[in-house]
Structure 1
Amino acid sequence: MATLVTFHAHPDDESIGCGGIMRKAADEGHRVVLVVATRGEHGEVPDGFLDPGEELWQRRVIETRACADILGAERLEFLGYKDSGMMGESTNDLPGSFWTADVEEAAQKLAAILQEENADVLTIYDDNGGYGHPDHIQVHRVGKRAAEIAGTGRVYQGTMNRDYMRRGMEAFAAQAKEAGVELPDVEGAAGETFGKPEAELTGRVDVTAYTAVKRAAMRAHASQISEESFFLAMPEEAFLYSFGVEWFIREGQGPGITETDLMVGL
């Protein structure tokens, strides 16, 4: 059996993009390690949600531990950086933000975990962080460098299939409207920041067997993902389409989809 390390920017990112491959790997007997760069200090939370005196990051750590259990992660580590907020916000440049972190220094922290675990597989994000979030972009940079330092040979960039998303939005627009679910805008210039074109992807992992687990993992992050959110309010058929496949890019693979299991052969 092998070890999968999956590296994310904030609490809840893991449940959305890699929850299926995490639980799948765990069920197949592999060791799963979750590493999160920040504690999500700048997430939005409804008024009155937190207990008196409780900080958001404290609740998000608790939520991440619960999510890690659901997804089968045997180890959870936070690198200790602060959430940078969305691109262009003043929080990007605050001391300690992940966006301002020295890439080499952060990569050494992650590489130490990869080496301790003798990691076989590492997941990060694509070079635009999936949708342009500064912390996600930094995950790409730090993760690539950490893999070089640690000698982790199998690195997958988690992303979204832009063309698949657009087809899904068209197919389920009527259902979404009926359910009162607001779909992301993936058309025009805004849509060009979401994921990557289908032709650039090299990995497609079918995780439809784990969509119930992914829903449970998302619900564990209740401070960020409410029952009325896009993620949980959509009809089951649309959820299966949206979250039943996880997409990746592995340098040196392709053209086209050449892998359907990140842990194959390990």
Structure 2
Amino acid sequence: MSTIMFVHAHPDDEGTLTAGAMIRAAEEGHRVVVVFATGGEHGEAPDDLRPGETVAQRRRAEAEQAARIAGVAGLHWLGYRDSGMAGWEQNHHPRAFLQADPEEAAERLAALIASERPDVLVGYDWHGNYGHPDHIRVHQVVRRAAELAGNRPRLFEATMNRDLVRRLYRTALDGGIEDAQGFDPDRPMNDGNPLGTPEAEINLQVDVSAQVARRREVMACHASQVTDIQAWLSLPAEGYAAMFSTEHYVEVGSSDPIRPGWFF
């Protein structure tokens, strides 16, 4: 049995990016650990928040339920505050992840790595897929924490396959799905860059088609985030499977072309 640690910026990011691999690893008997950098304070506030309940408290409860469904053995929080999207005034909050000392944040994560001793560590690509400041900071902090870690786990970075998303996008447009306009991977994202990573720069394609049904359950746990999560869950079964049956990763230090495979 191996241990794999996934580091995410906010609760619900795991559902859209790595939930398939998390579920598959747990099903195969590996120990799955998830770390959230922030509490997702600037996500959507659901209409049914109880008196005194915060968005972060709701999202933490949702993340815990999602973890149970995914088979996660260890769930940790780095304790930073959601920075909001690029250019928001929340970027400057003193507790925002964006304002955290990167070295101090890396040391926090390195301490968890020392405790959990993962064989594989998973962060984000260089611009966090779509340029969210917290996603970019995850990339930076995971890279540095891996350097600080005594056991030096194999390091992968989750990404979206820009070429695959483009193919799916064009298929949707050809099928007359007007809402597909929002999924154009070549438009500028939060940092001005297009979505994800070109296929030529990706090393690993993971088949998680057998985990699609449970992945939907994991994503459905994050019901408070209506705009993002419900948009994916509203896809027809065929479209959802096309989008979420494979996951893509860059292996840091590798120059190998993309290959179907697995972490272990």
**Alignment map for 1:92-131 (pairs within 5 Å):** 92-131=91-130
Structure 2 residue runs without a partner (length 5+)? none
May I ask how many residue pairs the two structures share in their alignment?
261
The Cα offsets for residues 120-158 of structure 1, whole Å up to 9 and x where unpaired, read as 001000010110000000000000111111132301000
| Counterpart for residue 82 of structure 2 | 83
| Amino acid in the other structure paired with 2:239 | A
**Structure 1 CA distance, aligned partners of 2:77 and 2:187?**
36
SS of the counterpart of 1:124? strand
| 8 Å CA contact retained: 1:218, 1:225 | no
Change (3 A) 1:227 1:107: closer
**Structure 1 CA distance, aligned partners of 2:34 and 2:188?**
33
TM-score where L is the length of structure 2? 0.93
| Amino acid in the other structure paired with 1:144 | R
**Structure 1 CA distance, aligned partners of 2:52 and 2:175?**
41
| Counterpart for residue 211 of structure 1 | 212
**Alignment map for 1:242-257 (pairs within 5 Å):** 242-257=243-258
SS of the counterpart of 2:166? helix
SS of the counterpart of 1:7? strand
TM-score where L is the length of structure 1? 0.92
| 8 Å CA contact retained: 1:219, 1:226 | no
Supply the RMSD in Å over aligned alpha carbons: 1.9
**Alignment map for 1:160-239 (pairs within 5 Å):** 160-173=160-173, 177=177, 183-190=182-189, 192-225=193-226, 229-239=230-240
The Cα offsets for residues 201-231 of structure 1, whole Å up to 9 and x where unpaired, read as 0010010111111110110001014698321
Change (3 A) 1:125 1:185: same
Report the Cα offset of residue 258 of structure 1: 3.8
**Alignment map for 1:141-156 (pairs within 5 Å):** 141-150=140-149, 151-156=151-156
| Counterpart for residue 9 of structure 1 | 9
**Structure 2 CA distance, aligned partners of 1:189 and 1:53?**
38
| 8 Å CA contact retained: 1:199, 1:255 | no
**Structure 2 CA distance, aligned partners of 1:79 and 1:114?**
12
Report the Cα offset of residue 45 of structure 1: 2.5
**Structure 2 CA distance, aligned partners of 1:32 and 1:189?**
33
| Counterpart for residue 56 of structure 1 | 55
Deviates more, 1:214-223 or 1:167-176: 167-176
| Amino acid in the other structure paired with 1:242 | M
| Counterpart for residue 35 of structure 1 | 35
Is residue 2:140 matched to residue 1:136?
no
**Structure 1 CA distance, aligned partners of 2:210 and 2:175?**
23
Structure 1 residue runs without a partner (length 5+)? none
Runs ≥4 in structure 1, deviation > 6 angstroms? none
The sequence identity of aligned pairs, in percent, is 44
| 8 Å CA contact retained: 1:3, 1:33 | yes
